Structure formats: structure tokens, C-alpha cells
């Protein structure tokens, strides 16, 4: 019998109608997150997102890049759910059992 312990990650995407997003900026993104993640952290954890901030990437290309990074870290997309203007995207990955 194989038992798994799971780790989950939830990403939300604002799908409300409106103006297209501005080009990616780690400073602006950090401010939008209330300073919870520093610009340095965002640049380090999402290499390539901010490599050419003057050229906006299509939102689908940005999402694909982010999901590919999650996949490289072992995350598997398991479900999406729309909640008001947000699309919630759920990922999981197995955690190993501790050694006895």
C-alpha cells in the first residue's frame, strides 16, 4: 500500500474585465502584494519574468512561464475553480514519508 502526504499550492488569477496588465515590474508587484514579497525575492524566484520589463508579455505567455516553473518544482495542476472575478488554480505534489 502506498500512502502519500500532499503539499498544496493555490494560485489565483484575476479574470475580471478591465485594462490589460502593465509590464511586469518586481517593485510594482511587491507593492501590490503589500510588501509581503520583496522585489529581490520576486526576481530571484521568477527569473525571466522581469528580464525585459519594457516589453509586455501576453498574459497567456506569462501564465505558461509561471506554470512551467511550478512543474519543474514538482507541482501538478489538479483543479481550477472560478470564485467571483478570481480563477483559483490548485496544485499538489507528494511529500516523502519521514524515515523510520
Residue ranges and CATH numbers for the domains of the chain are 1-21+57-100 (3.30.1070), 22-55 (no CATH)
- Report percent pLDDT > 70 for the chain: 82
How do 76-83 and 5-14 pair as beta strands?
A: unpaired
Give the number of other CB atoms < 10 A from CB of residue 62.
16
Would you state the pLDDT for residue 38?
Answer: 92
- Entry pTM: 0.58
Does pLDDT of 78 surpass 80? Answer: yes
Q: Are 54 and 20 in contact (CB under 8 A)?
A: no
| Triad 25, 31, 34: Cα angle to 5° | 145
- How do residues 22-69 score in pLDDT, each as one tens digit? 667 889 888 988 888 899 998 888 877 776 655 556 778 888 888 999
Q: Please give the Cα distance from 15 to 17 (Å, whole number).
A: 6
Question: Which pLDDT band holds residue 73 (cuts at 50, 70, 90)?
Answer: very high
| Triad 42, 48, 49: Cα angle to 5° | 55
Amino acid at each position: 500500500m502506498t500512502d502519500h502526504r500532499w503539499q498544496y499550492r493555490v494560485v489565483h488569477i484575476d479574470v475580471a474585465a478591465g485594462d490589460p496588465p502593465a509590464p511586469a515590474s518586481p517593485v510594482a508587484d511587491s507593492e501590490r502584494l503589500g510588501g509581503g514579497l520583496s522585489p529581490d525575492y520576486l526576481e530571484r524566484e521568477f527569473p525571466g519574468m522581469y528580464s525585459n520589463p519594457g516589453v509586455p508579455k501576453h498574459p497567456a505567455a506569462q501564465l505558461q512561464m509561471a506554470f512551467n516553473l511550478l512543474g519543474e518544482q514538482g507541482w501538478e495542476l489538479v483543479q481550477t475553480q472560478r470564485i467571483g472575478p478570481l480563477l483559483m488554480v490548485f496544485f499538489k505534489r507528494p511529500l516523502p514519508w519521514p524515515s523510520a
